[in-house]
Amino acid sequence: MNRPLHEKVAIVTGAGQGIGAAIAHALAAAGARVAVNDINPDRADRVANAICTAGGTAVAIIADVSNKFQCVHLVETTRTQWGQLDILVNNAAVRPRFTILKMDEWDWQRTLDVNLKGVFLMSQLVGRVMAAENGTRGGVMVNIASTAGVAEPLADCAAYAASKAGVLGFGRECAREFAAYGIRVFTLTPPEPAPETAVAQEVLSLCVQT
């Protein structure tokens, strides 16, 4: 069996369902040890258990990526479990559906906190570990954005579109800055609704590039 990510360690945020779960399964099938992150314990456990049942290696780690202290918990628990970090997939996102005229400020802020601040917090924390510890091994970060943040309108999702546009801009700067440490950063813009298997395979292909 081809396992190009053998002995690699990956964190996938928002991996309890949908695209995140598909990515976690794809990375584990390729040999990576996967930290399955979700804010919902049942979802995270279900995906991690399914990976292990299929012969992979995974652990469920509960954390809200909009909270720095919980992000630290996610990163440090993964390092304690397996001793290193090689791959980060920033996938966690929320998408409240309101018109701009009816959107509550809380929903706007929550969307930016999870979808954009969460990407910043995880990229910073994992980037620090990779830069300090990985040497020539480098690392890979993949941000999951959306065509909604580029050109395609998505009805009643202004906060989501704004957050995903921010992910694109932030991802470009991460790629520039982290290149000095051998960390490759990619930002994907899947369509809405996203084809889960296709996105997972694209993430996998980026992670196995040398």
The confidence score (pLDDT) of residue 210 equals 62
What pLDDT, in 10s, does the model give residues 20-34? 999 999 999 999 999
Assess whether pLDDT exceeds 90 at residue 180: yes
With cut-offs at 50, 70 and 90, classify the pLDDT of residue 1: low
With cut-offs at 50, 70 and 90, classify the pLDDT of residue 153: confident
User: Which residues form the catalytic set?
Assistant: 160
Q: What is the mean pLDDT of residues 183-206?
A: 96
* Domains of the chain, each with CATH number or no CATH: 9-208 (3.40.50.720)
Claim: this prediction has a pTM higher than 0.95:
yes
> CB-based contacts of 37: which residues, under 8 Å, 6+ apart?
11, 12, 13, 14, 15, 16, 44, 60, 61, 62, 63, 65, 74, 92
